[in-house]
Amino acid sequence: MSVSEEEVLKKMYNLILNPSTREWERYLLTTTKNALGQQKNFKEQLAKLEVELRPLALRNNLTPDVADFYQEITGNTAVSEQLVKEQHVVADPAYQERAIFAGGCFWCMVEPFESQPGIISVLSGYTGGVLEHPSYDQVSSGATGHVEAVEIIFDTRRVSYQELIDLYWQMTDPTDAFGQFQDRGAQYRPVIFVADEEQKKIAERRKQAAIDSNRYSKPIVTEIRAAGPFWPAENYHQEFYKKQPKRYKAIKRERQQFLMYQHLKGKLREGLHRKK
């Protein structure tokens, strides 16, 4: 374990105040913090906390922030972060490209892309704003101009940029400029960030195709912008669907229900338009 006693106490205090922390987790953290405040053996108390958290950690059922803290006190954070960084690299520029999409909470944007053939890596992060190295709390405030997004590295021999664009249109609501589904705020608005003129042409062509399809009763508001710096999100946000499968499935279910309803209405609109 590389974190100091002072760092552990600070993180515990923040987790205790964090509204996302479950009551049972908060109880364990408070108990340990109080014991450490009474000058009880640091290593012994931390080992006891680790044992209490371990069952849920092994089932990937801790809340994200507590899961990140658990990784730190067990010495796994550095390894996990290093693995994410090592995987997210364009190793072969001749056949690999980057794509950046924003479409609501990045927790739900990773799995649909990562499960596609030809995808090398998907990283959750922040882009489109003015602040360098923003944190989740700063982006969530809506004051930095960033959106939550995913950066994808893909093999162009196995999957094309247009195929990724088409998948993006299927998993987002292009008529909502104020968020996506249950995620509200400018940091969740739909944006396609293009890396070059070729990506821009494809994105604009597919957007126009969506407009011409008459599937939507409201205007298409998805932005197409030039890609800028992409700042990786904190480690506990990466691969959320693997770390928190139950929470992810619940969130995913809500999105899918909305999209199924939207797509059904779209087909009916297309059919009515063809009859006219």
The residues that are catalytic are: 105
Q: How many CB atoms lie within 10 A of CB 11?
A: 19
Rounded Cα–Cα distance for residues 135 and 144 (Å)? 10
Residue type, 247: R
Residue type, 36: L
DSSP string of 3-37? --HHHHHHHHHHHHH-TTS-HHHHHHHHHHHHHHH
For the chain, give the number of residues.
276
Adjacent-strand bridge partners of 100: 151, 193
How far does the chain reach from its first CA to its final CA, in angstroms?
Answer: 69
